[in-house]
Amino acid sequence: MNTTDNDGFAIPSLSGEGPSSSSSTKKPVASLDLPKHESLRFKPIKTLASRIDGSEYYDEASIEKVLEMLEIGRIDDATACADSLYAGIIDDDTLDIVGIAEYVKLLVVLRQWRRVSHLVSRKNYYQIHVVFAYYAVTALFHRKMYEEVTELAVGHLLPNNGQHGLLPVRTLSQVTGRFVEEEKTKYSFANMAELDNISKKLRMLPALMLTIAESFLKLMNRDAAMICINYALSVDNTTLHIERLMTKYNLVEPAQWEHYKKVRNAQLKLHEGSHDPQILIERAQHAYEMGRFGEAKRLTSELFELFGPHPEAILLRIHCLTMLKDSRSLLQLGHQLVADDPYVPLPWYCVALYYYTIGANARARNFISKCTMMDTTFAEGWVAFGHILHYEVEHEQSMSCYYRASKLVDRSSEPFLYVSLQYSTHSQKLSKKFMMEAVSRAPNDPVIRHEEACVAYTAKIYCEADVLFRNVLYMVTDTSEDAPIEETLKKPIDDFWRPMLNNLGHISRRMGRVEEAILFYQKAIKMEPKYIDAIASTALCYAVLGETDRATEFFNRALSIDPFNETIRQCLAKMIVASKLKYKTDERAMPSTFNVERFEPQGVLPNCGMRRPRNDGFVVPSIISSQQPFMQMFRARVRADQAEQRRLQGRTTRTEREIIDEDHEDQNR
């Protein structure tokens, strides 16, 4: 049975030591039958020790005690017992290479990577058998010595099946000019046969090739990595680590990935209510991909509550909190990750995104720079670096970060999306080219579809933009396309998609569906009561419908949030000028002199994957306190016009005095 460490590598278990024997009555088979012999390795060793009070006792070191110490988490005591057992092996006259392999296996479980590297290279054990080669490669990988992994001479240990041509792995004859048969003659046939059985039982050959493949990926040599992965698949196509490795580094073709997601979604419906961690992670990943970030956050919270901070879900959790701009939870998670292990890039990535969500771009840049320096192949770090540089108006450096990420994950759609958004400011042709590339790689991604709709709106292709915006709405609400808009808007939508609702309102208003546009704006306002873009657009819609009272209310509400917004002030002033001569409360249509297109308050807002929050730098008055003076001013203007008309018609001055007194009373109130 294999166990898996924190990085996903298969580590041999501690059970099943010793040679496997077969019955003498059976016919010989292809596998090796080992002769029965009494193994002398790992004999219990008793040493005389003393207590604090001066009394003496015998301390016994055995493999059973090592396992017992590991079960209760006493790593230092387990290491001391293993060292005592190894000392008993090397003191013998005959060299037991299988005993050395068992000792190295204990050190691997104890994560003593430097000692493992020393032992397997002290007498070039890694050149003799696959077991030692696997331990050598794994130790170097965990020490982040990726070039040394690819230069290790282990190619002569790999059987050549003739299907993949020349492997990108060096052989012993290429390095020293000698052959492995010369080295194997130093050890007994029984030991070598026992190592063969251990390698087959623990599937060390495909694990060795996968570790070499990931080292090539860290060095950005994806072609050599794919050759190693294909070789591992030809040896054993049942290992789960191959799938995880290809998913982590985006090695799956986009068409195959879309088919895989369809199969995965069908399987997830069969596991509703399951608390299996892999099922919860898959459900959270699916919700995140479909833009339902609140649901993904809830699933990761459930996973962390049941199983603790699961290492495979931490990155997904960070992305969910960033999309929802939950800075408090990001800060707490970042502190926990830094306290646990500050020598890996993920904690600093989380800290950088925390500062990014609160708008502190200078600090975010420092931490994301530290993250990418610790691991130059961390693609998510380069994407976040590009976002931070974008908000510091360093577009060329931002583009270089996105290009770097596209080299690391060349089959991912996200870097192409952000490159397209960078080009949208000065080259629509290049922007559309990269956008089409992103859509071809992820046709069902709501974020990409939303940006594609924004590009269509900018090009004034309103029908296409309308269809794309509605498809995004159906994706994030998980509803069918024939569902009524009123029912769709009743479903919960994450705050991240407020610009999408605002954009749907703009499209509907442009296409003459003003009442429907008001529904979209009201949904956005319900999600954020101070969302000034939706408030001002709602006021404009009511003005178009002729409901000047409601329009004035929403214009005034928008000005209470941003009193110095000249666009809103001009819209309000023009509406007053156009309606003052024909002001009637029951009239439903605006005069023909009111030009709607001239006073467009807001265009379509592009919605990047991670967006800087809006920070208002002043305290605004409440809506009630700002509405009353405006209504007094509006009544005074209407009454003054009426008084002027009466004076011209020869009315008495007493009526004028009454009107003035009423104005003074309103002001006193």
Write down which residue in 199, 215, 239 finishes a domain.
239
Q: Which of 39-53, 59-73, 167-181 has the highest mean pLDDT?
A: 59-73
Same domain, 611 and 627: no
* pLDDT of res. 37: 36
If asked whether residues 160 and 192 sit together in one domain, one would say: yes
* Residue 653: alpha-carbon gap to chain centroid: 75
The CA-atom distances, in angstroms, between 331 and each of 305, 334, 335 are 18, 5, 6
Strand pairing category for 10-12 and 2-4:
antiparallel
Give the domain range for residue 514: 445-617
The 10s digit of each residue's pLDDT in 200-229 is: 888 899 899 999 999 998 888 888 888 888
Per-residue pLDDT at 192: 84
Q: Domain boundary at 239, 263, 285, which?
A: 239
Residue 274 domain-assigned (yes or no): no
Tell me the per-residue pLDDT of 294-316, one tens digit each, with 9 for 90 and over. 999 999 999 999 998 899 899 99
Give the residue from 629, 567, 624 showing the smallest Cα distance to 599. Answer: 567
Domain count, the chain: 3
Q: How many CB atoms lie within 10 A of CB 255?
A: 10
Each residue's pLDDT tens digit, 316-342: 999 999 999 999 999 999 999 999 999
Give the whole-number percent of the chain exceeding pLDDT 90.
Answer: 28
Closest C-alpha among 126, 123, 128 to residue 137: 126
Same domain, 629 and 602: no
Q: Which segment, 157-171, 437-451, 578-592, 636-650, is predicted with the most confidence on average?
A: 437-451
The backbone torsions φ and ψ at residue 54, rounded to the nearest 5 degrees and listed phi first, read: 100, -10
What's residue 471's pLDDT? 92
For the chain, report the end-to-end CA distance as a whole number of angstroms: 84
At residue 31, the pLDDT reads: 40
pLDDT confidence of residue 78: 84
Neighbours of 510 (CB within 10 A): 19
Closest to 547 in 3D by CA, of 593, 524, 506, 514: 514
Question: 140-165: per-residue pLDDT in tens?
Answer: 999 989 999 999 988 888 887 666 66
Please check whether residues 572 and 591 belong to one and the same domain.
yes
Please check whether residues 167 and 199 belong to one and the same domain: yes
120/129 Cα distance (integer angstroms):
11
* Mean pLDDT value across residues 645-649: 71
Question: Can you give the pLDDT at residue 57?
Answer: 66
Whether residue 208 is contained in a domain is answered as yes
Check pLDDT > 70 for residue 463: yes
Distance between CA 550 and CA 41 in Å, rounded?
Answer: 89
593 and 630 housed in the same domain: no
Structure tokens given for 358: 């609160």
Residue 188: inside a domain: yes
| Residue with the two structure tokens 């009353």 | 628
Q: Is the pLDDT of residue 581 over 60?
A: no
Domain co-membership, 598 together with 651: no
pTM: 0.69
Name the burial class of residue 298, with classes exposed (0-12), middle (13-18) and buried (19+) by CB atoms within 10 angstroms of its CB: middle
The C-alpha atoms of residue 96 and residue 186 are separated, in whole angstroms, by 11
Both 632 and 610 in one domain: the answer is no
Residue 123 in this model has a pLDDT that exceeds 60 = yes
Minimal CA–CA distance to 349: which of 390, 321, 380, 320? Answer: 380
59 strand-pairing partners: 47
Q: Which of 33-47, 160-174, 247-261, 412-426 has the lowest mean pLDDT?
A: 33-47
Average pLDDT over residues 387-406: 90
Instruction: Identify the bridge partners of residue 46 per DSSP, sorted by sequence position.
Output: 60
Contacts of 455 (CB under 8 A, 6+ apart): 420, 424, 428, 431, 432, 435
Question: What pLDDT, on the 0 to 100 scale, is given for residue 27?
Answer: 41
**Are residues 574 and 664 both part of a single domain?**
no
DSSP state of 252: S
- 634 and 650 fall within a common domain: yes
In which band, very low, low, confident or very high, does the pLDDT at 658 lie, cut at 50, 70 and 90?
Answer: low
pLDDT of residue 299: 93
- One domain, residues 638 and 561: no
Is 49 within 8 Å of 56 (Cβ atoms)? yes
Task: Give the per-residue pLDDT at 431.
Answer: 87
Contact 132, 198 (CB under 8 A): no
How many Å apart are CA 493 and CA 290, to the nearest integer? 12
Average pLDDT over residues 580-603: 50
Q: For residue 76, tell me if it sits in a domain.
A: no
| In the predicted structure, residue 2 carries a pLDDT above the cut 70 | no
- Domain for residue 659, yes or no? yes
Query: Same domain for 580 and 627?
Result: no
pLDDT score for 580? 65
From its phi and psi, is residue 165 left (phi > 0), alpha (psi between -120 and 50) or beta?
left
Would you list the DSSP string of 599-617?
Answer: G----PPP--SS-PPP---
Residue 326: inside a domain = no
Q: For residues 403 and 407, what is the distance between their CA atoms, to the nearest angstrom?
A: 6
